[in-house]
């Protein structure tokens, strides 16, 4: 099997990249722009347009943003717990399968779709 090719930089090119990284200054973003950017992260370009075109008021947009953040944080917690359970199960030898099933039982239960 052929080895993957790597990008090879000359010493001069590498120095240029490093200088570029060091010279980057923090980006100043107005609070309103940050709000719209985060709203767009969760709701896409249509969400950004809705705010810019005043199709939704700021109270509604704020509520939707807080809701999206809460959903995101819940997903982070769920994924962290699943990762933790997997790691513990992987290091538990013969009992690993039982630990995995027990640790993820509630997630499996909640993920079932009723027809």
Do the domain assignments include residue 67?
Answer: yes
Structure tokens at 104: 């993820």
Do the domain assignments include residue 77?
Answer: yes
Do the domain assignments include residue 79?
Answer: yes
Residue written as token pair 């009723």: 114
Residue written as token pair 């807080």: 66
Alpha-carbon distance of 35 to 65, in angstroms, equals: 9
Do the domain assignments include residue 82?
Answer: yes
* Number of other CB atoms surrounding residue 89 within 10 Å: 19
Average pLDDT for residues 95-112, to the nearest whole number? 83
Average pLDDT for residues 32-58, to the nearest whole number? 96
At residue 2 the predicted structure's pLDDT band, cuts being 50, 70 and 90, is low
Q: How many domains does the chain have?
A: 1
Do the domain assignments include residue 4?
Answer: no
Do the domain assignments include residue 18?
Answer: no
**CB-based contact 91:102 (threshold 8 Å):** no
Do the domain assignments include residue 80?
Answer: yes
At residue 1 the predicted structure's pLDDT band, cuts being 50, 70 and 90, is very low
Alpha-carbon distance of 9 to 17, in angstroms, equals: 10
Full residue range of the structural domain in which residue 66 is found: 27-111
**Taking 80 as the threshold, does the pLDDT of residue 52 lie above it?**
yes
Whole-number Cα distances in Å, 52 to 1, 34, 39, 109: 53, 13, 11, 41
Q: How many CA atoms lie within 13 A of 28 on its CB side?
A: 0
Do the domain assignments include residue 17?
Answer: no
Digit-coded pLDDT (tens) for 19-35: 877 777 777 889 999 99
Average pLDDT for residues 91-115, to the nearest whole number? 82
The dihedral formed by the CA atoms of 25, 27, 28 and 34, expressed in degrees to the nearest 10: -160
């Amino acid at each position: 099997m052929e080895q993957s090719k790597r990008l090879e930089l000359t010493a001069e090119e590498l120095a240029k990249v490093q200088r570029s990284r060091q010279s980057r200054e923090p980006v100043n973003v107005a609070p309103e722009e940050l709000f719209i950017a985060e709203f767009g992260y969760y709701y896409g370009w249509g969400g950004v347009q809705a705010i810019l075109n005043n199709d939704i008021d700021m109270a509604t947009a704020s509520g939707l943003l807080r809701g999206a953040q809460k959903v995101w944080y819940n997903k982070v917690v769920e994924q962290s717990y699943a990762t933790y359970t997997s790691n513990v199960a992987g290091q538990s030898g013969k009992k690993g399968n039982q630990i995995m099933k027990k640790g993820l039982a509630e997630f499996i239960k909640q993920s079932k779709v009723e027809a």
